[in-house]
Structure 1
Amino acid sequence: MSGPLAGIKVIEIGALIAAPFAARLMAEFGADVIKVEAPGDGDPIRKWRKLHNGTSLWWYLQSRNKRSIALNLKSADGIAIVKRLLEDADVLIENMKPGALEKLGLGWDVLHALNPKLTMVRISGYGQTGPYKDRPGFGAIGEAMGGIRYTTGEAGGVPARVGVSLGDSLASLHAVMGALMSVLRVKTGQGDGQVVDVSLVESVFNLMESLVPEYDLLGHVRERSGGALPGIAPSNTYPTRDGAYVVIAGNSNPIYKRLMAVIGRQDLADDPQFAQNDGRAAQAALIDAAIAGWTSRHPIEHVLAELEAADVPAGRIYSVADIVADPHYQARDMILRHTLPDGVEVAMPGIVPKLSDTPGAVRWQGPALGEHTDAVLAQLGMTAADIARLRADGAVQ
């Protein structure tokens, strides 16, 4: 392994999205991630979304650079192997229901005594404490109760879902951040490992800007506003003549004046009531109508060219087809091509962030269930006979 996290050992006891995505991010930057899966079907994401020859394309992305070991955690031998793996691990990432690992004999007290340097990252719907901790929670519920769904959708319309599993992904990012802070503490000799408690609800809530003080001090409840950015103007989504949509952010004072010049509305640029954002926000509908009147008369490429020439931030709303074909994505290595086990080549997203000296890398795609079981057990000092016995007993696959 190479990368900034080379030498960091991560054990993933997780399924579907939040914990696996967090572990994937660490694996991309060199961590040795061993994914513990249940014998039989393994992680359900192997069958989620679109399949290719019976395996999810999402799986190949979500589990790249990981090693898969299939363990029966209902067996004493399976639990014993997990403990062996954790004896020298740096991080455990899990997203089981609170209390589930405790029932398996893998609670924090046990693991901290086993390995004081271990960081235990726990991702759940509501966190490990509080009155809701025992409720089941998925990313969609986190989005609902974290506040983002209430503010997403057309004005006066039904609360809408963002088109991806946003709640889970936000929890993953917070999990990685917490894991790295804890590992840094250990590696610099400042203390032992600790529990990183990540809630899906709180991960979404953490992005909700000034929602709380606006409500507490002003009694303001931010509502759905479609493509607009309430209180910041102009910033919205506008139609073009050829049926495309462009997002324009003209919300700083100098950019606003340049934008008005582009659309031929010098009167709005010079009006003193629009010199600052608060004045523009008070009449955002009027300004948006003027901008939409201009964009709707021109095709998208003309709109973008004019705005770029005037140094006004703007972008076409991309579909996945637009993304894959875009030369900037390609130049930034954000579209990588890899070969699946059957020899078929497929495009996959690249790695974020870009590190100049120790960049991340894709070493292999998501593995077959239990593909690395024998190798991992051999690293623990087990013989071929030991592994055969475990397999015969149903402890491993």
Structure 2
Amino acid sequence: MPLEGVRVVELGSLIAGPYAAGLLAQFGADVLKIEPPQDGDPLRRWRKLHDGTSLWWYGQSRNKKSITLDRRSAAGQEILRSLVAEADIVIENFRPGTLEKWGLGWEDLRAVNPTLAMVRVSGYGQTGPYKDRPGFAAIAESMGGLRYVPGYPDRSPVRSGVSIGDTLASLYGVIGALLAMHHPRANGSDGQFIDVALYESVFAVMEIVGHDVSGQVLKAGKRSELHPAPPVGAGR
């Protein structure tokens, strides 16, 4: 497998972070998933259950190893640092500042592993005025423009049917991690962290981004067409 021997520590939960780690695992990476004690990842009980466990969990968590670790405790933090010291990639999707509060932020972890590639997925990125807000795919898909496009022009925006905002961010995170792994090996420099925002990942795949120039946007209809942009505050 192309990623055989690559060690990944996954700190995320639910979709964006774990999906990225799952993609790496499918190509041979050794993924160690860190879960909180007692209940574990909420995805274990998400949607359709089979024998008490989510079918989604079975699909997303295959090829991974899993341990429980209290990241809020000093002992748990020390264990995690020792695991990161031997890792190539760390993936997390907490709200920005959470890991720093536990002494496990980028600067803390790169101190124990200078060549580390750290993927950080959040709603609005690690910096900026919205960084402290919780991020959800539904909001990211709206802010990125995706929910304006599908559906019907005379109705409210519709969901695509899957959590595409999360999975798009996961894909960008995986690309960033692989590039960051190549970077120190190519020129001997330190590792890097990859800052992935859900809404930016959605916006990046929108095919026409010329609103500022043309005043037009893609709009739902029988086919993708350009329409004049609605007034600020107007409905669809």
Same fold (TM over 0.5): yes
Whether the 8 Å contact between 2:180 and 2:192 is mirrored in structure 1 is yes
Corresponding pairs, count: 226
Structure 2 matches for 1:9-158, cutoff 5 A? 9-158=7-156
In the TM superposition, what is the alpha-carbon distance from 1:161 to its structure 2 partner? 0.4
SS of 1:136 mapped into structure 2: coil
Whether the 8 Å contact between 2:124 and 2:130 is mirrored in structure 1 is yes
Structure 2 matches for 1:356-375, cutoff 5 A? none
Cα RMSD for the two superposed structures: 1.1
Q: Does residue 162 of structure 1 match 2:140? A: no
SS of 1:188 mapped into structure 2: helix
Structure with max Cα Rg: 1
CA–CA separation in structure 2 for the residues paired with 1:216 and 1:71: 48
CA–CA separation in structure 1 for the residues paired with 2:51 and 2:213: 56
In the TM superposition, what is the alpha-carbon distance from 1:222 to its structure 2 partner? 2.0
CA–CA separation in structure 2 for the residues paired with 1:34 and 1:157: 44
CA–CA separation in structure 1 for the residues paired with 2:73 and 2:126: 25
SS of 2:21 mapped into structure 1: helix
Q: Does residue 229 of structure 1 match 2:224? A: yes
C-alpha offsets along residues 167-216 of structure 1, whole Å, 9 cap, x if unaligned?
00000000000000000112223421111000000000001112x22x22
CA–CA separation in structure 1 for the residues paired with 2:188 and 2:142: 38
Aligned AA (1:224): A
CA–CA separation in structure 2 for the residues paired with 1:205 and 1:221: 13
Partner of 1:220: 216
Change beyond 3 A, Cα 1:217–1:32: same
Whether the 8 Å contact between 2:149 and 2:224 is mirrored in structure 1 is no
In the TM superposition, what is the alpha-carbon distance from 1:155 to its structure 2 partner? 1.6
CA–CA separation in structure 1 for the residues paired with 2:52 and 2:189: 46
CA–CA separation in structure 2 for the residues paired with 1:76 and 1:217: 53
Unmatched tracts of structure 1, length 5 or more? 232-397
CA–CA separation in structure 2 for the residues paired with 1:219 and 1:115: 48
CA–CA separation in structure 2 for the residues paired with 1:55 and 1:189: 45
Whether the 8 Å contact between 2:48 and 2:55 is mirrored in structure 1 is yes
Identity of aligned residues (%): 57
Structure 2 matches for 1:152-301, cutoff 5 A? 152-210=150-208, 212-213=209-210, 215-225=211-221, 227-230=222-225
In the TM superposition, what is the alpha-carbon distance from 1:219 to its structure 2 partner? 1.4
In the TM superposition, what is the alpha-carbon distance from 1:230 to its structure 2 partner? 2.2
Aligned AA (2:223): A
CA–CA separation in structure 2 for the residues paired with 1:222 and 1:168: 22
So what's the TM-score if we normalise by structure 1? Answer: 0.56
In the TM superposition, what is the alpha-carbon distance from 1:48 to its structure 2 partner? 0.6
CA–CA separation in structure 2 for the residues paired with 1:15 and 1:224: 33
SS of 1:67 mapped into structure 2: strand
SS of 2:218 mapped into structure 1: coil
SS of 2:216 mapped into structure 1: coil
CA–CA separation in structure 2 for the residues paired with 1:114 and 1:14: 20
Whether the 8 Å contact between 2:10 and 2:18 is mirrored in structure 1 is yes
SS of 1:101 mapped into structure 2: helix
So what's the TM-score if we normalise by structure 2? Answer: 0.93
CA–CA separation in structure 2 for the residues paired with 1:61 and 1:202: 26
In the TM superposition, what is the alpha-carbon distance from 1:220 to its structure 2 partner? 1.1
CA–CA separation in structure 2 for the residues paired with 1:159 and 1:33: 37
